[in-house]
A and B are shown apart, each in its own frame.
Chain A
Amino acid sequence: MVTVLTETSATEVAAQSGESHSKDELWLSGIETTEITGWSMKPEGFCKDDVCVPTPSGRADSFVWGDTVNVSAFWDLMGKPVVRNANADVWLLGEGASNRNDALLSLEAPNFTLPDLDGNLHSLTDFRGKRVLLITWASW
């Protein structure tokens, strides 16, 4: 099994078998790709909402093979961090600096959903209509 993490999820997927992929590549089925990342393969390329990243011409086989997608290659192409452990059985698909910077410069406070001590989830958007003082701290 391979665990694929995003900043907000952890999903177990069956390890790719049959083909021998490099440890530097994370291949997922089209369905898994969409479930985990929200991105999908379309004729125009790798797409989410109204954004599409075209599959590089001449190198299509290293990005898409049958029904499988080289998610790590697309992630890298988009300038987003994709990291893994040495065994390549835990991957994390992160968010890129330019998206983070754009989001912060829009001045719309980035939303998040986090648990309280009892495990109840709260989102920043739950407090819309109120002024929010967001404060971080730590025990250490």
Chain B
Amino acid sequence: MFDSVKNENFVIVSVAMDGDVEAARPWIEAASPGFITLIDQNHLLSSLYNMFNVPQAVWIDESGTIVRPVETGGSLDILKEYDPVAGAFKPEAVERSKRAKSTYIDAVKDWAMNGSASSFLFDPDEARDRVPSMSNEIAQAHAKFQLGQYLKRNGRNDEAETAFDESRRLHPDSWNIYRETAERTPSGLAAGEEFWQKVRSLGDKQYYATIDMEGMPD
């Protein structure tokens, strides 16, 4: 996706939120070797950056300062436009989704080239306004999830499930917690009937929040 964004002052750090390293391996091995890909079995980044879905992106400048807080990268909220009968997204949604992706990639390129002169950066106050606030319940959910991941890695599945149940209850908005701990389809996706039911029950809520970037389609 970002193959064409090359600059010696710019690096992409991609992080797989995968409890199971082997599930992530084929994806990583197929990816561009220019990427640095790390594996986050405990979803530490969800806790550190208050993330609750994937993909999410954060822009960090040369001094380690966040210049675009956590946001959905180039993914558009078209999940509810999936047509289960056709087994595909509606063509119009696919088109908008492509535009969102290319708009986002162009913005990343602009930043990679121009650094602090890029018009896509937020100033500190704007950035702070866009930092999602973490509740005590969310912090508790991350702790339960990490406890569960440890128990699961040690073969203590029943105890892990108890911890995951509590984690999902404490942070019902987290797709990361839900999907990591949900049943997988044969192709490895946590996108069974229950997932689609959860998507439908979002109502007016978005699966991916629309990002605040010039040129982004709705």
Contact = CB atoms under 8 A, between A and B. Distances in A.
Contact of B147 (A79, A85, A100, A133): A85
B176 A7 contact: no
Contacts of A132: 10-13, 59-60
A54 B139 CA distance: 23
B58 A134 contact: yes
Interface in B137-189: 138-140, 142-144, 146-147, 150-151, 156, 159, 162-163, 176, 179-180, 182, 184, 188-189
Interface residues of B, number: 82
Interface residue range, chain A: 35 or more
A105 B136 CA distance: 16
Contact of B65 (A107, A137, A139): A107
Interface stretch (A18-26, A30-38, A60-68, A90-98): A90-98
B147 A5 contact: yes
A136 B182 CA distance: 19
A26 to B, nearest CB: 13
B32 interface: no
B147 A92 contact: yes
Interface in A39-89: 79-87
A110 to B, nearest CB: 4
A139 B21 CA distance: 10
Contact of B140 (A81, A86, A127): A81
Given A85-B159, A122-B36, A136 B55 contact: yes
Given A110-B49, A112-B45, A127-B11, A81 B143 contact: yes
Nearest to B45: A136
Contacts of A112: 40, 44-45, 48
Interface string B115-135: 100000000100110010111
Nearest to B122: A107
B150 A92 contact: yes
A17 to B, nearest CB: 23
B115 A131 contact: yes
B209 interface: no
Contact of A128 (B13, B15, B49, B64): B64
A14 interface: no
Contacts of A79: 136
A114 B15 contact: yes
B159 A138 contact: no
Given A86-B162, A132-B60, A135-B57, A92 B38 contact: no
B64 A109 contact: yes
B147 A84 contact: yes
Interface of A: 3, 5, 7-8, 10, 79-87, 90-92, 94-97, 100-101, 103-105, 107-112, 114-117, 122, 124-125, 127-140
19 contacts: A5-B146, A5-B150, A81-B136, A81-B143, A83-B144, A83-B163, A90-B159, A95-B139, A97-B138, A107-B124, A108-B64, A112-B48, A115-B38, A128-B64, A129-B62, A131-B59, A132-B10, A137-B15, A139-B23
